[in-house]
Structure 1
Amino acid sequence: MRPRGPLAAEALGFAAAGAAAYAVDLALFVWLRGPGGFGPLTAKALSFLAACTVAYAGNALGTYRRRPPAVSRARQYGVFFAVNLAGAVVQLLCLACSHYLLGLTTPRDDVISGAGVGMALATVLRFWGTRTFVFGAATARDERAPAAGG
């Protein structure tokens, strides 16, 4: 099934890059915490950095490949990292509000607020921030370009 329209194709590409980044984040975190012997915060920081790099590469070389960078790739990656960091803060804020302000303290509550609601809100923020600040708004030329795979 092909996406209908440029925004749908963009969202699909963004989701694919995000899924790959999530897999890297999870696998690397588990390895660093186990056989790697790292503490939880160091392991998470390293896996987050690796996941951001994978997501950036997927978006720069895939989803937004037709948009030439307006700034250097290094600066573009820095902005991308900042957008992803803001998404992580959103997830943490959802968890903190649910756990400490609303008193929803069971492990299930934490998963729902952090990995459910927080992830959904963070994904919306990341998509908007990535297309707005990192790769710029679509131009008329981009909208006329054929979607990936067709």
Structure 2
Amino acid sequence: MSRHFTPPTPEATAVTAILIDAARCWREARDSGQSVQPCLSRTLDRHDCAILAPVLDSLCLFYEAALERPMTVGDAFNVSDDEHLLLGLVDGSRPRQCLACTQDVSATLACAVCSTRIMLMLTLGDPSARRLQ
């Protein structure tokens, strides 16, 4: 049986790569005691979006607070459950209520997710506007 699906748009693929690379960089910097934002800036520069370092630093910080434990990241061959959840929170496919955190932490994470969405759109452009051109 064959299944038909719509392939992901280049924008969606780029956002996924940016978020995964940023989360892994953030985790490595935190674990090694490095300053997070300079590490994020270097990592994000490969995607031509180093300006996202502060917003992604905040997103990961508040996401980890909502998890109430360190975020687990995958490797070159696997995306972790935490990374999948983070992607779902940013793309809107997972509600923030899926985390068992306090209302205050949930509200703070929601703000970080909204800020991230806005900055991704401003940095990468509005995909719907590109389809109209």
Question: Structure 1 length as normaliser, TM-score?
Answer: 0.41
TM-score (structure 2 length as normaliser): 0.46
Bigger share in helix: 1
